[in-house]
Structure 1
Amino acid sequence: MNTSTPAHSAFAAFELFRDPRGRLVCTMPNGTAHVGVVPVRAFPITAPGEGISLVGCDGHELLWFDRLERLPEPARALIEAELAEREFMPTLQRLVSVSTFSTPSVWQVDTDRGPTRFELKGEEDIRRLPGDRARLMITSADGLHFIIDDLHALDRHSRRLIERFL
């Protein structure tokens, strides 16, 4: 892979700001302005602070950053704010009930964002995530992702209900 392309060059000379419409604008070292850029994480769940790309409205990568923490503060704050608006992954804290132990089933849960209910289409929509703890990601029928940071930290009732689907 050619690492001397503009997308992988030093990022000290780029400028990132919001225009009056609230869109992110990235001005490249050569002065070219790209309106409506979108930050994208390479590994949003397993390594959220690593591998961040700024993608233009045409879908092409403009800049690549190995680590978000290495960016200058104004740019980092803008990227983090944009990612927070786009990414919504509530943490499941308690499983209140399930409609049935076969799928599809309706789950009533408490999350860090409040109580909600969603439909689980199939057992394959519950995935174990890499790491040293029992991390799970549950995808609802609507495509919303719920994270369980540590299955063992849930209350006994919640663990028993979830284990019926694992």
Structure 2
Amino acid sequence: MVVIDPAAFARRQVRAQLAPLGCVVLELSGSEPEPVVRRQLQRARVVLAEPAPWGRDAGRWLAALKAMNPAATLVVCTALTTRAAVVAYRRAGAADVVAKPWDPARLQAAVRFALAARGPAGRLDPRASRGAATSPGGESPGRACQGAGPVQGETGGTGEPCGQA
């Protein structure tokens, strides 16, 4: 999984809070050259991104990230959660939006959902996406996939990585 956030503290928090899932987390600040970002995103099953630094261009930036690896599930983790912003994130391809400051359980649920929404080959699993990602304000994506069991690469806390970096 790749975490893109300009704040090093936020990246470290994400890494620590996803450790119980066994996720391998690669941290990027978002200021790296485009070829570096593209290379790292090609390996990711889940991309967790903070779009706020891009302001009005956040939707375009997220769409560009999604285009670099269409098979990866995009999760937005941001303090900017106005209705218009959330709609823009969803239009850009975000599967979920987690509001900062986040509850660790909510972040873990979003990542579990993102992993469950993709099958072993990285394609959408229609069984996992029923009623998908209605947050904020709707059913938690974690509840939508709890009964599905672990997906390929997810360990459920056994210590093995839940996805490539």
Bin the TM-score by the shorter chain: under 0.3
**Structure in which a larger fraction of residues adopt strand:** 1
**Structure in which a larger fraction of residues adopt helix:** 2
- Higher relative contact order (CA closer than 8 Å, sequence separation 6+): 2
Q: TM-score, normalised by structure 1?
A: 0.23
